[in-house]
Homo-oligomer: A and B are copies of this chain.
Amino acid sequence: MELTEALYTTRAMRRVAPDPVPEEVVAAMMDAAVRAPSGGNSQNWRWMTVTAPDVKDALGPLYREAWQELQETIYAGRREAAEARGDESALQVMRSADWLAEHFEDVPLWVLAFSRNDPSGASIYPAVWNLMLAARGHGIGTCLTTVLGFLRGPQAFDVLGVPQDKGWTLSAAVSAGYPLGRWGLAKRAPAQHVTYAERWGEPVAWAVDEPLWNG
């Protein structure tokens, strides 16, 4: 796959089929992940592939608890606000995220990313994103979620046998499977609306009115 197509179409693909992700694709995803740079080339990461029903059965309820808690706290009012302004695009994202929580156990593969000594996340998320881009190249849809580690980290560590005292953080749980939806560009604010030149608030000289790749 061409790089630009991958960069432009690797959107959150939450609805996936239960068919397993082939082992050689999993290996390719993980090999791509570890190619990413990390601060001081520390590679201070561990990864875990979860496909076993009993592990998913134990994590699923924790994920749904976390997702529910997020709705009631940080995300409170978002759904109502989106409904009030008739923002169908935002509502679709929320329904899709609901689907993922409800179907946690049906997702064939979850890849968990653990990091430590990485307070900003600058060392783990390029690797996570490499994994997701490589998956895209193999036709696998993924979604980067953080809610499990953020709101149920210690409980998830207990399920997975992760030591609680070694400084690890569950930075991401990435769902992966063959997509039920279709690939395509997601809607974004144009780059020139969010980019300044030289100083805050100064406009850039260029504009990208249509995405530079569109199939």
Whether B32 lies near A78 (C-beta < 8 A) is no
C-beta contact mask, A1-45 vs B, less than 8 Å → 1, else 0? 111111110111000000000011011101111111101110101
Whether A47 lies near B133 (C-beta < 8 A) is no
Nearest chain B residue, comparing its CB with the CB of A172? B122
**A200 shortest CB reach to chain B, Å:** 4
A67 at the binding interface (Cβ < 8 Å): no
Contacts of A51 in B (CB 8 A): 198
Number of copies: 2
Whether B160 lies near A199 (C-beta < 8 A) is yes
Whether A11 lies near B40 (C-beta < 8 A) is no
17 A–B pairs (Cβ distance < 8 Å), ordered by A: A3-B5, A3-B6, A3-B137, A4-B32, A7-B35, A7-B130, A10-B37, A27-B192, A27-B212, A31-B211, A35-B211, A37-B186, A41-B93, A47-B191, A48-B197, A122-B171, A161-B201
